[in-house]
Amino acid sequence: MYRAVKIAENIFYAGVNDRRTHLFENLMPIERGVAYNSYVINDEKVAIVDAVEIGQVDRFLKKVEGIIGDKPVDYLVINHMEPDHAGAVNILASLYPDMKLVGNKKTKPMVEGFFGLGDRFVEVGEGDTIELGKNSLQFFLAPMVHWPETMVSYNPQNKVLFSGDAFGSFGTLDGAVFDDELDIDYFKDEMRRYYSNIVGKYGSPVQKALDKLAGLDFEIVAATHGPVLRSHIDEVIKMYQDWSTHTTQEGVVIAYASMYGNTEDMAEVVARELVEQGVKSVRMYDVSKTDSSYIISDIFKYKGLILGSPTYTNELHPNMESLINKIEHIGVKNHVVGVFGSFSWAGTAVKLLNGFVERMDWEIVGDPVEQKHALQKDKFEELRKLGKAMADSL
Ligand code: FEO
């Protein structure tokens, strides 16, 4: 039988690690896997706070049974309806026929629509509380962190905040549960990748949620992914403050598409100039090799962005087009941007990249550089000027 990991008095970890799924949301690669965190409050009444993805339900149920034995579950608190957490709702509802589903007024139609379980629903609103015995749970709405129905649950007796997706991370926990049981630096990049690609569009709602949470006295943050925080809470909140306000560090992401290496040659010249100008953080990505989720994560980190693409059937290279579509969809703000491109008989890539930068309302730095065919002698200087202009703008 699993030995339950205690989070606080009466509160236990029942989460599971997923190392099998290749793409989170069938979209983002998760080479390091992901944890679906669930928590059980075993008091006079039993509450489960968030569940797990359906593929992991067997292990999850064994963990729940290890914590509560044959006691019934009274409440399933649904902080968030996305199926990486709510996937197990139907099975839990079948196993525990008296279990109530707790959510807010935006959760209810989703519970009915996805599961047909509206008759088991208990609606809570801002600040409402359910009593479990010695413990209680109080609810605060956090819309769009990550869906409209998102809320957080607070256990005042143990000062535990169940934060849903907020402060979550990709990456499996590999035997650990708490942030001081593992190498937190290993998770920081994956926390930013999770935030930037999944919640990054919703900076303003995240800011509102952070303001609201600042009024709560919590010592443990139990998110639905990643380690349970008790030693790095302030640091992680600061990271969220920066990301949600698009506050960046000195550094440059160079993202380029290149079919046969001519556009890549241009990127190399710009990169060298940046380094010669003293920029230490230069991150170069071939958009056909590196998944956009990693590139977008670094764009959230660094102020500078340089985009390069060949003209491809009178358009951008399709992988560059895909990257900029995602950046535009997320609405990344506050960047300084340079562009370059190449073509063989008719150039449109630079024009299209310029249009993208204008639509994003970003600051363009330096003069765009466009070359025909292979890198020509006179283009070296133009590319170095672009690199210098970028370095000067940081
Ligand atoms: Fe982890 Fe938005 O679900």
CATH 3.60.15.10 given to domain 5-244? yes
- Index of the ligand 1 atom closest to the CA of residue 199: 2
- 29: exposed, middle or buried (Cβ count in 10 Å: 0-12, 13-18, 19+): middle
CA distance 115 to 287: 39
> Nearest residue CA, atom 1 of ligand 1?
165
Q: What percent of the chain has pLDDT over 70?
A: 100
108 lines ligand 1 (CB under 6 A): no
pLDDT at residue 388 in the model:
98
pLDDT in tens, 131-167: 999 999 999 999 999 999 999 999 999 999 999 999 9
Determine if ligand 1 sits within 6 Å of the CB of residue 265.
no
Q: What residue type is 339 in one-letter code?
A: V
Q: How far is the CA of 383 from the centre of ligand 1 (A)?
A: 42
Atom of ligand 1 nearest to the CA of 150: 2
Ligand 1 centroid to Cα of residue 84, in Å, is 6
Yes or no: say if 299 and 245 are a contact pair by the CB < 8 Å rule. no
CB of 84 within 6 A of ligand 1: the answer is yes
167 CA distance to ligand 1 middle (Å):
11
Q: What does pTM read for this prediction?
A: 0.96
What does the pLDDT read at residue 176? 97
80 CA to centre of ligand 1 in angstroms: 7
Residue 344: phi and psi, rounded to 5, are -105, -35
What's the gap in Å between 98 CA and the centre of ligand 1?
A: 26
In this structure, how many other beta carbons lie within 10 angstroms of the beta carbon of residue 135?
22
Secondary structure in 3-state letters for 147-177? CCCCEEEEECCCCEEEEECCCCCCECCCCCC
Q: Ligand 1 within 6 A of 226 CB?
A: no
Query: With a 6 A CB cut-off, is 155 part of the ligand 1 pocket?
Result: no
Ligand 1: distance of its center to the CA of 180 in Å?
Answer: 23
Is the CA virtual torsion 174, 179, 182, 186 positive or negative?
positive
**Helices 233-244 and 184-194 sit at what angle, rounded to 10 degrees?**
30
Q: Where do the CATH 3.60.15.10 domains begin and end in the chain?
A: 5-244
Does 165 contact ligand 1 (Cβ within 6 A)?
Answer: yes
Instruction: Determine the angle formed by the axes of helices 292-301 and 184-194, rounding to 10 degrees.
Output: 100
Q: Quick one: pLDDT at residue 355?
A: 97
Any idea which architecture 249-393 has in CATH?
3-Layer(aba) Sandwich (3.40)
- Pocket flag, ligand 1, residue 82 (CB < 6 Å): yes
Write out the residue limits of the CATH 3.40.50.360 domain(s) in the chain: 249-393
pLDDT, tens digit (0-9, with 9 covering 90-100), for 17-56:
999 999 999 999 999 999 999 999 999 999 999 999 999 9
> So what's the pLDDT on residue 2?
82
Extract the tokens encoding 150: 């998102």
CA gap 29, 294 in Å, rounded: 9
Quote the tokens at residue 392: 């000067």
Q: How far is the CA of 164 from the centre of ligand 1 (A)?
A: 7
Angle between helix 292-301 and helix 318-330 axes, rounded to 10 deg: 50
The amino acid at residue 343 is F
pLDDT digits (tens, 9 = 90+) for 45-59: 999 999 999 999 999
Residue 372 contacts residue 347 (beta carbons within 8 Å): yes
The protein residue whose alpha carbon is closest to atom 3 in ligand 1 is 82
Task: From the CA of 165, give the closest atom in ligand 1.
Answer: 1
Dig out the tokens for 88 from the structure.
């197990």
Q: Which residues of the chain have pLDDT under 70?
A: none
What's the CA-to-centroid distance between 321 and ligand 1, angstroms? 26
Distance 85 CA to ligand 1 centre (A): 7
- The finding on whether 18 has its CB within 6 A of some atom of ligand 1 is no
Q: What is the rounded distance in angstroms from the CA atom of residue 370 to the CA atom of residue 357?
A: 16
